[in-house]
Chains A and B, each alone.
Chain A
């Protein structure tokens, strides 16, 4: 089976004045379809940088980054934007929903950005939100939603364009344990059901039980 995402000897350095900072030294791992992988590690270990590279937000300094078998390490800004739009779903620490869009419109926005047909999208949006238990919230603005509900909307938004890869950066940071577990349970369920790949950066060890595999980053390298 081919890996959905494959990092091969990825290195990332930043220049800070005269100093060169190596955040990722040599990171290699594969994520397969249907796999839900957790990335753990102390702060400063390079988790967020790794996630940004996997999410086509940053280009690696060297190494290969294969998404669905295609190397995107040297993709242009425009190409990376299209990859983010069509192949990657992001879930952030806080939900980062647009305050002026209703729950359903948050999802429809993704469709509009990718210029898909509206009719199929409406059905998919309603189905996703129903699965995540948000059917009754379709036409409400984020300010009326609880933290857990908002994060579930963010998950639905990440799924909306049927991406190959879901990237979640501490998605439970702003939730209490019970809500956090509920949200991750649903995320894990979706990954299995639709044979997608997902990476979650987390500090919360209670969430690890839902993951298939744990990758530990330390000082910019997989340990």
Chain B
């Protein structure tokens, strides 16, 4: 600690530069992580807020909720099963408006007393002929009391209220009354999928009994949403690369600094310093620089998230910050391994110019 801190204080400019780079990279990591998480939530907040781990889907739907149609037989299996399940209908459609652009929505029908019912933040639950839509629809100029027309069924709905965290495939979800859902399909309630409120074992049990359907996990359902994997994949790749770049940049910086100080390390060894003291000193410096730049990056990221425009999907949970910080620390330490090796190998004799 003694050597590490004294040196950091003495060589302020040099280490401030290193900390600056580390700050920028960790800021970028946090920002992209927040964006990835925000986009994921924005894409499918309805699934994430349902708080269930399993869904029953048509086997042929390839994990796509909007493509799925659960057979009557399997609906019976779900109903008779010991696990509590909530069937729901879901499809993508478009609202037609006169004198304004059309709006994509995901139309959904679910028992509004079930555990996966949406939270109404304004207005009230819909009765027949009404619709409850995600609050983001207000950006399109749609207010409570407005009448909207569904393009697929040509039915008209009066907006009864707004919900929060109800999106699917980046579109706001429009909840309609069960009777309206039936009317759209000639009186039959079409079940796209069912949310299972049970453990992994219970879900597996149901899965065995299903004829034409299967049980998939929340992650599989999310990955099944068109574009979800591509979106998350490219952002994840950016994050992974940022960590790799961070490791390389830090490795290069510390290596150059270490090479510059080889003579000093040699002298230290000659006057009797154990290698452990030198290694510890280097590690403490890496840790201190990481801690300072990470703290700064976290503060700046959280600050930036406060002044970001409303529409920008950005979400950074405490867990995410903790994981990113931990990974970044690890990256910094990995980056300093090369330097540590160099320090361990320093020849005291070469440093003092004697011996050969």
Instruction: List the A side residues contacting B273 at CB < 8 Å.
Output: 81, 85, 113
Q: Is B309 an interface residue (CB 8 A)?
A: no
Instruction: List the A side residues contacting B6 at CB < 8 Å.
Output: 100-101, 105
Instruction: Enumerate B1-56 residues with CB–CB distance to A below 8 Å.
Output: 2-3, 6-7, 9-11
Please state if B352 and A49 are interface contacts (CB–CB under 8 Å): no
Closest to B2 in A: A112
Instruction: List the B side residues contacting A215 at CB < 8 Å.
Output: none
Q: Is A75 an interface residue (CB 8 A)?
A: no
Closest to B269 in A: A81
Q: Is B141 an interface residue (CB 8 A)?
A: no
Q: Is A35 an interface residue (CB 8 A)?
A: no
Please state if A90 and B355 are interface contacts (CB–CB under 8 Å): no
In the complex, which of the residues B264, B270, B356 contacts A90, with contact meaning CB atoms closer than 8 Å? B270
0/1 string, B186-208, CB within 8 A of A gives 1: 00000000000000000000000
Instruction: Enumerate A36-55 residues with CB–CB distance to B below 8 Å.
Output: 48-49, 51-52, 55
Instruction: List the A side residues contacting B303 at CB < 8 Å.
Output: none
Please state if A48 and B272 are interface contacts (CB–CB under 8 Å): no
Instruction: Enumerate A73-115 residues with CB–CB distance to B below 8 Å.
Output: 78, 81-86, 88, 90, 92-93, 96, 98-101, 105, 109-110, 112-114
Please state if A141 and B10 are interface contacts (CB–CB under 8 Å): yes
Q: How far is the CA of A222 from the CA of B174 in the complex (A)?
A: 100
Q: How far is the CA of A184 from the CA of B263 in the complex (A)?
A: 25
Instruction: List the A side residues contacting B352 at CB < 8 Å.
Output: 57, 90, 92-93, 96, 169
Q: Is A58 an interface residue (CB 8 A)?
A: yes
Please state if A48 and B354 are interface contacts (CB–CB under 8 Å): yes
Closest to B355 in A: A52
Q: Chain A interface residue count: which class?
A: 35 or more
Q: A98-B264, A100-B7, A113-B277 are in contact. Are A48 and B355 (CB under 8 A)?
A: yes
A52, A78, A86, A110: residue with the most chain B Cβ atoms closer than 10 Å: A52
Q: How far is the CA of A82 from the CA of B274 in the complex (A)?
A: 8
In the complex, which of the residues A57, A88, A99, A113 contacts B349, with contact meaning CB atoms closer than 8 Å? A57
Instruction: List the A side residues contacting B3 at CB < 8 Å.
Output: 98, 101, 109
Min Cβ gap A116→B in Å is: 13
Please state if A99 and B274 are interface contacts (CB–CB under 8 Å): no
For this complex, 15 residue pairs linking A to B, each with C-beta atoms less than 8 Å apart, are A23-B356, A48-B354, A51-B354, A52-B354, A52-B355, A57-B270, A57-B355, A85-B272, A88-B272, A96-B352, A98-B267, A100-B6, A100-B10, A110-B271, A169-B352
Q: A48-B354, A90-B270, A98-B3 are in contact. List 13 more A-B contacts (CB 8 A).
A: A57-B354, A58-B355, A78-B274, A84-B270, A84-B271, A86-B272, A96-B351, A98-B264, A98-B268, A99-B264, A100-B11, A113-B274, A157-B271
Q: Which B residues contact A (CB, under 8 angstroms)?
A: 2-3, 6-7, 9-11, 263-264, 267-274, 277, 348-349, 351-356
